[in-house]
Amino acid sequence: MLIETLKTLFERDLRKLKAEIELYNSENAIWHIERNIPNSAGNLALHLVGNLNGFIGETLGHTGYVRQRELEFSLRGIPKVELIRQIDETIAVVNSSLDKLTLEDLAKEFPVPVFGGKTTSTEYMLVHLASHLGYHLGQVNYHRRMLDE
Within the chain, what is the greatest distance between any pair of CA atoms?
48
Contacts 24+ apart (CB under 8 A), 75-82: 75/42, 75/43, 75/46, 76/31, 76/40, 76/42, 76/43, 77/31, 77/42, 78/42, 78/46, 79/27, 80/21, 80/22, 80/24, 80/27, 80/30
Q: Give tens-digit pLDDT for 24-53.
A: 999 999 999 977 888 999 999 999 999 999
- Domains in the chain: ranges and CATH: 2-147 (1.20.120.450)
Task: Report the percentage of the chain scoring pLDDT > 90.
Answer: 91
Q: What is the pLDDT of residue 149?
A: 64
